[in-house]
Amino acid sequence: MSAISRLLVIALLLGSGPSLAADVAAAEYRGMTMDDVRRLRGEPERVYGPVGEPPITRWYYANESFYFEHSLVLDRVPHNNSIRLQRVDGLRGTR
């Protein structure tokens, strides 16, 4: 198990919540190149930018976006719709 994976497990076990877990997961991508992300995630659905100086580019995927400075990952941001509730058989709402 990698150090990042261990930190993610510890964050979840300590009840630090999804925010810390997301930060740990995002840290795993920081510093990767565009080519690294393309190999791991495939082609982005949309590309925004580059904009500004230094140039910032955003790659949009269905469940997440990656932000790059030049060609290096600055951050990975999961989209709200990537958190899905699973249906529990037999669970019914009250009237």
Q: Look up the pTM and report it.
A: 0.62
Residue 70, Ramachandran bin (φ over 0: left; ψ between -120 and 50: alpha; else beta): left
Contact indicator for 73, 31 with CB cutoff of 8 Å: yes
Q: What pLDDT does residue 86 have?
A: 45
Residue type, 70: H
Q: What pLDDT does residue 82 have?
A: 43
User: Domain residue spans in the chain?
Assistant: 1-30, 31-84
Q: What pLDDT does residue 2 have?
A: 61
The ranges of the chain with pLDDT < 70 are 1-26, 81-95
Q: What pLDDT does residue 18 have?
A: 52
H helix or E strand, kind and range, residue 24: helix 17-27
Q: What pLDDT does residue 11 have?
A: 54
H helix or E strand, kind and range, residue 68: strand 64-69
pLDDT in tens, 36-60: 999 999 999 999 999 999 999 999 9
Q: What pLDDT does residue 59 have?
A: 97
Exposure string (b/e) for 47-68, b if CB count within 10 Å is 16 or more? eeeeeeeeeebbbebeebbbbb
